[in-house]
């Protein structure tokens, strides 16, 4: 069958329109779908930003709270330390003390260590402290009279030497007590003490142990003793017995250091206690 020409053209035109319409619909759907995806993505981004913002704010609050807690704890510790330091300063008084050092032959090997120990004690002196340096063997000898000059005391310590002879510890303690009694008489508000460094065995004193302990107690003098280990066990036991007794009965303290750390501890504690 032959169709008229116009009818054929109309059919083709109609088909073209349908194709165009379908293309437009597909394009519109694609645009709508892409717009939906883009909108969904933007909404998700906004939601994530809100979550991140909330988490960041929570983190800031947590950090601030922790910092405040730490600051409060540090403040409390500082107040406590300042109060403790203030109390220690309030209790500490200037000290007049005799540093008596055994220079007998039994101390020969320990002399350098003893001098270092004595310098450590002197190094803790305050500007108001007065120290006398006394060496002894069979008799006491003043190496440096009472002074607050730490440099002069250290020079005097460097001049110390070992000498033969029998050790007279009790006589040295009596001499120290006499010097302290005569120094700064009538002046109140000062502490007086004897710091004794020895291996602890007396061999030639005119005084007995009982007499010297009684004398020191009557003079209200505290004795702090650093016992240097001796070679013989029997001698060491007798020495330690005297060291413990004279320190205990005078209100002082005895130290029997074995290591460098022990010596440092003894020096620090004695330096603090002679002011209290």
Burial class (CB in 10 A: 0-12, 13-18, 19+), 203: middle
- Please give the average per-residue pLDDT across 109-134, as a whole number: 95
pLDDT of the residue at 86: 47
Would you say residue 240 has pLDDT above 70?
Answer: yes
Please tell me the distance from the alpha carbon of residue 274 to that of residue 247, in angstroms, as a whole number: 13
Please tell me the distance from the alpha carbon of residue 1 to that of residue 132, in angstroms, as a whole number: 146
Q: Give per-residue pLDDT as tens, 126-181.
A: 999 999 999 999 999 999 999 999 999 999 999 999 998 889 999 999 999 999 99
Q: Give per-residue pLDDT as tens, 207-236.
A: 999 999 999 999 999 999 999 876 544 456
pLDDT of the residue at 3: 46
pLDDT band for position 271 (50/70/90)? very high
Would you say residue 186 has pLDDT above 50?
Answer: yes
pLDDT of the residue at 76: 52
Please tell me the distance from the alpha carbon of residue 125 to that of residue 130, in angstroms, as a whole number: 8
pLDDT of the residue at 55: 75
Q: Give per-residue pLDDT as tens, 35-88.
A: 667 667 677 666 776 776 767 766 776 666 665 666 566 555 654 555 445 444
pLDDT of the residue at 232: 43
Q: 111 or 34, which is more confident?
A: 111
pLDDT-above-90 percentage for the chain: 52
Q: Give per-residue pLDDT as tens, 2-37.
A: 445 455 555 555 565 555 455 554 555 555 555 667
Q: Distance from CA of residue 139 to its chain's centroid?
A: 40
Phi and psi, residue 107, nearest 5°: -100, 5
- pTM for this prediction: 0.67
pLDDT of the residue at 267: 95
Q: Are 156 and 122 in contact (CB under 8 A)?
A: no
């Amino acid at each position: 069958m032959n169709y008229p020409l116009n009818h054929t053209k109309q059919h083709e035109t109609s088909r073209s329109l349908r194709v165009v319409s379908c293309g437009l619909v597909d394009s519109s759907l694609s645009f709508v779908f892409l717009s939906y995806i883009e909108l969904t993505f933007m909404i998700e981004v906004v939601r994530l930003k809100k979550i991140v913002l909330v988490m960041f704010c929570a983190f800031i609050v947590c950090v601030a709270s922790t910092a405040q807690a730490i600051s409060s704890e540090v403040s409390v510790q500082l107040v406590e330390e300042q109060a403790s330091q203030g109390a220690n300063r309030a209790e500490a008084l200037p000290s007049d003390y005799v540093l008596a050092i055994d220079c007998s032959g039994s101390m020969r090997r320990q002399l350098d260590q003893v001098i270092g120990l004595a310098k450590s004690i002197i190094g803790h002196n305050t500007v108001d402290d007065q120290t006398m340096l006394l060496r002894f063997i069979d008799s006491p000898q003043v190496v440096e009279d009472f002074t607050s000059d730490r440099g002069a005391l250290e020079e005097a310590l460097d001049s110390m030497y070992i000498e033969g002879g029998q050790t007279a510890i009790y006589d040295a303690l009596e001499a120290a007590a006499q010097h302290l009694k005569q120094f700064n008489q009538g002046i109140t508000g000062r502490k007086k003490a004897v710091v004794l460094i020895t291996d602890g065995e007396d061999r030639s004193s005119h005084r007995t142990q009982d007499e010297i302990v009684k004398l020191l107690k009557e003079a209200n003098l505290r004795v702090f003793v650093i016992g240097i280990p001796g070679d013989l066990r029997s001698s060491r036991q007798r020495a330690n017995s005297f060291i413990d007794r004279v320190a205990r009965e005078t209100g002082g303290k005895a130290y029997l250091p074995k290591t460098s750390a022990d010596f440092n501890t003894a020096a620090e504690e004695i330096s603090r206690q002679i002011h209290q």
